Amino acid sequence: MPSPPAILQVLPALVSGGVERGTVEIAEAIAAAGMRALVASAGGPLAREVERVGGAHVALPLDTKSPFGIWRNAAALANLVRGEGVAVLHARSRAPAWSALLAARRTGAHFVTTYHGAYNEGLPGKRLYNSVMARGERVIAISRFIADLVAARHGTPAARIRLIPRGVDPRRFDPALVPSSRVLAQREAWGAAPGQAVVLLPARLTRWKGQMVLVEALPRLPGVLAVLAGGGNDGFAEELRARAASFGVADRVVLAGHVEALDLALCAADVVVHASTDAEAFGRTVIEAQAMARPVIASDLGGPRETVEPGVTGWRVPPGDPAVLAEALGQVLAMPEAERAAIGARARQAVLRDYTTAAMQRATLEVYRELLA
């Protein structure tokens, strides 16, 4: 009997991040559907996760951006496609996508892309470089914002675009599964006093993620503890500490680093803030917080415009404005706890209805089946 079709996802590496987690989730769905799930990357800790969910990882130096490296990777991918009988190549990042596009043309495999970001076009040639993400037979857009951007920027016909939002796994992000004793222990680990309001901003330490906006809002919020959860730029971390000290709030800013148990961290916060100053393609941490029934205040641009309904499932504020953010935080923290809980409950229901991992998996498998048919 013929072997089941193989789907090969390609990306630079499998270290951490939303793109990487999404790759593992789709590999799990492919394997569960009776197809063969292959992932090619330069490797990383999540390669073991690919194998755990029933896929196979192939180590290739797909983290290179050099033209020679891209060309060499195209040959390696073409050999992999032929050797494994790959029916669909699914590219999730630009440099590997160029290699995958060349490999697809050489082998006749179908080519799918997921357009994961509002890629910068500031340098000459960047639009051409970015355009590979719009060259798939099907282009998966992770939000309506991205779908509109792909159509406007690259002229991609609507018939080739598939809107498939990111999702969260309610088996992991469920407040009912987090014991109150662990929540209390987490708050104590952050240094929060009993009854002290805790505001959490979960994002890697990068200027455009808006950590500085929250630090500069803190002087207007007496007694509030701000927790910045995310690793990244050590230089920017020092800048944040210096800014907090200059405002006299250094004792109320916690740089928690990378947080493995994000569900617990979200549960331990009174309010979760998304403060990005550039448009997010989607903003996965927003729906993760909503899945944990947390009140969310998000920047009013990009993907969160689709996931946060003001006054119903959260609040939106203009990006980059510490005074407005402080005002919104003050109003939310002053609400009766029952009202905040009601907002959180509605947010969780919206996520369970529209933004689950299972829904993302089903829709992506449908794209593969559409091409295979």
Do both 111 and 139 map to the same domain? yes
Q: Look at residue 345 in the predicted model and tell me its pLDDT.
A: 96
Do both 52 and 126 map to the same domain? yes
Do both 127 and 18 map to the same domain? yes
Residue 265 located in a structural domain: yes
Do both 200 and 136 map to the same domain? no
Element (H, E) at 94: helix 94-107
The string of pLDDT tens digits covering residues 184-229 is 999 999 999 999 999 999 999 999 999 999 999 999 999 999 999 9
Q: How many CA atoms lie within 13 A of 207 on its CB side?
A: 3
The domain of 181 spans 175-354
Q: How many CA atoms lie within 13 A of 247 on its CB side?
A: 23
Residue 257 located in a structural domain: yes
Do both 201 and 159 map to the same domain? no
Do both 220 and 344 map to the same domain? yes
CATH of the domain at 267: 3.40.50.2000
Helix (H/G/I), strand (E/B), else coil: 86 = strand
| Cα–Cα distance measured from residue 303 to residue 145, given in angstroms and rounded to the nearest whole number | 6
Provide the CA 216 distance to its chain's centre, in angstroms. 25
Question: What contacts 14, CB < 8 A, 6 or more positions away?
Answer: 20, 23, 24, 39, 41, 43, 44, 45, 46, 47, 49, 50, 57
Do both 20 and 112 map to the same domain? yes
Q: Look at residue 98 in the predicted model and tell me its pLDDT.
A: 98
Residue 1 located in a structural domain: no
Q: Look at residue 233 in the predicted model and tell me its pLDDT.
A: 79
Do both 140 and 212 map to the same domain? no
Residue 326 located in a structural domain: yes
Do both 88 and 187 map to the same domain? no
pTM of the model: 0.91
Q: Look at residue 231 in the predicted model and tell me its pLDDT.
A: 86
Largest CA distance in the chain: 71
Asked if residues 92 and 10 have their Cβ atoms less than 8 Å apart, the reply is yes
Say how many Å lie between the first and final Cα of the chain, rounded.
18
Residue 305 located in a structural domain: yes
| Cα–Cα distance measured from residue 333 to residue 307, given in angstroms and rounded to the nearest whole number | 21
Do both 210 and 338 map to the same domain? yes
**Count of structural domains, the chain:** 2
Q: Look at residue 27 in the predicted model and tell me its pLDDT.
A: 98
Q: Look at residue 2 in the predicted model and tell me its pLDDT.
A: 64
Residue 52 located in a structural domain: yes
Q: List the chain pLDDT tens, one digit each, 373 residues.
A: 567 899 999 999 998 788 999 999 999 999 999 999 999 999 999 999 999 999 999 999 999 999 999 999 999 999 999 999 999 999 999 999 999 999 999 999 999 999 998 888 878 888 999 999 999 999 999 999 999 999 999 999 999 999 999 999 998 999 999 999 999 999 999 999 999 999 999 999 999 999 999 999 999 999 999 999 998 878 999 999 999 999 999 999 999 998 989 999 999 999 999 999 999 999 999 999 999 999 999 999 999 999 999 999 999 999 999 999 999 999 999 999 999 999 999 999 999 999 999 999 999 999 999 999 8
Do both 145 and 188 map to the same domain? no
In the chain, beta strands by DSSP E: 6-10, 36-41, 56-59, 86-91, 110-115, 138-141, 161-163, 198-202, 225-229, 253-257, 271-274, 296-299, 315-317
State the DSSP code for 151: H
